[in-house]
Structure 1
Amino acid sequence: MMAVVWVRERVPDLPRDVWWVIAVNASMQAIFNFVTIFVNLYWWRQGESILAVSLFNLAGTVALFASYFLGSHYLYKRDIRFVMLLSSIFAGVTFLALFFYVPGWRTLFTLGIGMAFGLTQGFFWAANNSSMYTFLKSEQYADYFSINTVLGQAIAVAIPLISAGIVGAAGFRLSFLIMLVFVLAAFVVSIRLPHKGLAENLFQGRIGFREVFAKPGTAWVMAVVMCTGLVNQFLTLFSMIYIFTVSNNVGIVALLNIGYSFILLAALTWYRRAHFSQDVWLVMGIVLILASYGLAFLVPKNGWSTIVVLLMRVGGLYLQGASGRQRYRVIMQGDVVWRTRFGLWMEFPFALSRTTILIGGLFVRTLGDAAFIVLTAISSGAMLALPLFTRMAIRRYEAAHGVGAGL
């Protein structure tokens, strides 16, 4: 009895609908974590090809943004539950297609599976973002994000460990079938979501540039999103490639990712407890990432790759956390429909930035070649411009709402 009371005192008091959203998030995070590590490793092991990994992620990115817009349309025509169910269905298609993969048709399967996974992500994020704006009150955001963060870190440790054991014992194909358990869990929990959607059609009425960007700081946020997307996609793609260059052994890759997860958890704890300004965290992230780029070019790859990835991920955590928090202040100015419409506009620079890096990745043959240097330069330029654009957005926002508003 005392244990039950202890748990109740520490578990945030959130509405039941929000807990169902959190449960869906946990199931989908397990799927995303598995695909990010093991499906990309699966393509890499087909011939240690950066091209195959880039092509898979590029196809997924294109499908992600197309399905995000389609999902946003269905948020008005149908509801959040319908869009989330679509996401889980395409997750099932992804793993079934991986199970039936034919090596002779590698390019076709790479594109098709990448698109199926992109549809999974696009529908999920459309429904997830809308559910966050619809079900949560402003004072509940902190509890919601803290729960998702804790669950995300637990999943980042558990899924690689469990999946590595399954892949090592039974191979990739059986592991793809076992992932259907998580797909089924996401589907069942999604059914419990309420029939709630948007009250207005996002693609009618006030969706033009002048209407959406009339609020202070919003135009500069688009530049922030563009820069952040360029940096994050570069870090995501090549930190993964650097891990694969250390070893393509499933167990070692899993242990490396688990180790990075523990380090990121410690870095996240410091980020929350240290009373630095968001500008300081942003600069700290940039310095760590630039240090990783320097090491990548100056020292032997295999011996220092783990350190390069460590600096990339910790730096990326601070950069994304600081820029995201500042961006979120500007986004929270309007009502649910305006925020969702603004989110649709933000998808354009986000899509452009991600596809730019991934298309460039198709031309990278080895780490350190000319194409890799060009992508590193693009990422570095975007990273150095990010503090300026963030400052411009916040300056205009605070001029209208007051210094420190929204923190």
Structure 2
Amino acid sequence: MTIALKRLLMMNVSSSIIFNYMGIFINLFIWEKGQQIFDVAWFNLVMFIAWGLAFMYGAKLLARFSIGSIMRISAICAGITFVLLSWVHVEPKLLYLSLIALPVGITNGFYASASNIGISLFGKGKEFTAFFSATNVIGQIIAFVNPLLFALIIKWIGFSGSFVVMFLFIGTMILVSFFVPHISLKEADEAVFKNFSIRKVFVTPSLKWMIPSLIAGGFFIQFQGIFSLIFTFSVTKDKLAIALLQIMYTAFTVASVYIYQRFSRTRSISDSRWLTFGMLAAATGFLLALFPTPSILILSNILTTIGLFFFFTIWSSRQFIATNHLEPIQQARFLVWRELILIISRIFMLALILGITDFNGFVFKAVMVFSFSSALLIPYFSSKSDASVKGIDC
């Protein structure tokens, strides 16, 4: 692996620690304020609006600046987040939640645009295979260690102390950003947002079938993402126990990785069947959530976690295959649209979740059935897109 890729890997490590913390403990911090589903849903809704806008603006800035510059803006916004969490407390509560959500969304949006578009431009050689392998391994280690480490820090010095600790990783992220590869869209013949209409980006049958797949995927991802956290928070108030549950879910993901890799070598089970299995596991997890006892909620999270792994692995690889032949600027446009469609569908799902007050009410059951139906449609949309790539259905 080249020095440039090693530096990019170091950037991924420092940023992954920050994003893992934000995903679990900022949501827990908000949940503990009133244990209201509405509060967590509102925070995430505002965050994704900011995320989508920042992703688009970050893609535009890449025509003038390198990914390192965009990553520094992301790190600075992360710092603003922890300043607000530590020292700003305003009323009404919705304003406070929005103030926190905005820099969190901007942090994620800028980093996602720099990372996703930058990596798509960097290349796909053998050394990049080593880079992605190392990224996956490190990501799994962080998913194991980070929740436990910060649960202990919060128990020891409280949330405020953990916010201060995060500045160490933000500082690392800023420092490393000066040494990452100087990748940008300066060499592109056209601007990202020229010829950006959805008809001009999703031009082939396989790409067109991705649109409903992305919409359904956004619904599924958001429902699973927010309720896996809320179910866990509902099971126990002990932060160490919450961290251990998150580690257990990660362990099931790692086990799924091992099983999938072992069978994929022989191709004894097709990717379409793995995807169907994943969606059925997720759907079963959704159904179990209708019986909200602590043990059932944990089992529900296990099944939806397994389902999410197979969904992401196969769904993402099929998208890569369908876009691999595109020019860099076309790939950048596709990635921006992909992010926007996912974010819009996630915002729509969060708007529905705002009306949920408990796990036994009609609204929760209706939203769950909607997510359940979306999950079951994904294999169909994905297979249609895959068939179009192979020229079976053009």
Q: Shorter-normalised TM-score: what interval?
A: over 0.9
- Alignment partners' CA distance in 1, 2:90 and 2:53: 28
Matched position secondary structure for 1:98: helix
Q: Does 1:323 align with 2:315?
A: yes
1:372 partnered with 2:364: yes
* CA distance in 1 between partners of 2:217 and 2:41 (Å): 19
Q: What is the one-letter code of the residue matched to 2:373?
A: G
1:288–1:311 Cα contact (<8 Å) kept: yes
Structure 2 residue identity aligned to 1:31: I
Partner of residue 360, structure 1: 352
Q: Judge conservation of contact 1:56–1:114 (CA < 8 Å) in 2.
A: yes
8 Å CA contact retained: 2:45, 2:351: yes
In structure 2, what is the equivalent of residue 60 of structure 1? 47
Stretches of structure 1 that go unaligned for 5 or more consecutive residues are 1-13, 403-407
**Aligned equivalent of 1:175, options 137, 154, 162:** 162
Residue 143 (structure 1) aligned with residue 130 (structure 2): yes
- Superposed CA deviations along residues 331-356 of structure 1, whole A, max 9, x for unmatched, are 21212111001112223321221001
Deviation of 1:166 (Å): 0.8
Is 1:48 equivalent to 2:35 in the alignment?
yes
TM-score (norm. length: structure 2): 0.94
TM-score, structure 1 length as denominator? 0.91
1:293 is aligned to 2:280? no
Q: Does 1:335 align with 2:324?
A: no
**Alignment partners' CA distance in 2, 1:216 and 1:103:** 50
How many angstroms does 1:209 deviate by?
A: 3.5
Letter in 2 for 1:378: F
Is 1:251 equivalent to 2:235 in the alignment?
Answer: no
- Residue aligning to 1:10: none
Counterpart of 1:8? none
Contact 1:286-1:383 at 8 Å conserved across structures: yes
Write the distance in 2 (CA, Å) between the matches of 1:103 and 1:194.
41
What is the aligned-residue identity percentage?
27
Change over 3 Å in CA distance of 1:401–1:384 after alignment to 2: closer
Contact 1:228 1:320 in 2 (8 A): no
Question: SS of the counterpart of 1:171?
Answer: helix
Structure-1 separation of matches of 2:129 and 2:360 = 41
Matched, 1:224 2:213: yes
- The answer as to 2:244 corresponding to 1:268 is no
Structure 2 unpaired stretches of 5+: none
Instruction: Tell me how far 1:300 sits from its aligned partner.
Output: 4.4
Aligned partner of 1:387 in structure 2 is 379
Alpha-carbon distance in 2 for matches of 1:140, 1:223: 34
- Report SS of the residue matched to 1:46: helix
Aligned residues between the structures: 388
Question: What's the counterpart of residue 405 of structure 1?
Answer: none
Cα displacement string for residues 40-76 of structure 1 (whole angstroms, at most 9, x for unaligned residues): 1111111111111111111110000000000000000
SS of 2:356's partner is coil
Check whether the contact 2:193–2:333 (CA below 8 A) recurs between aligned residues: no
* Alignment-derived partner of residue 196 in structure 2: 207
Q: For the residues of structure 1 that align with 2:182 and 2:128, how far apart are their CA atoms?
A: 22
Amino acid at match of 2:201: V
- Once residues 193 and 284 of structure 2 are traced to their aligned partners in structure 1, the CA distance between those partners, rounded to angstroms, is 47
1:398 maps to which of 386, 390, 393: 390
Give distance in 2, aligned partners of 1:255 and 1:400.
46
**Is 2:283–2:375's contact at 8 Å kept on the other side of the alignment?**
no
Structure-2 separation of matches of 1:19 and 1:120: 22
C-alpha root-mean-square deviation of aligned residues, in Å? 1.8
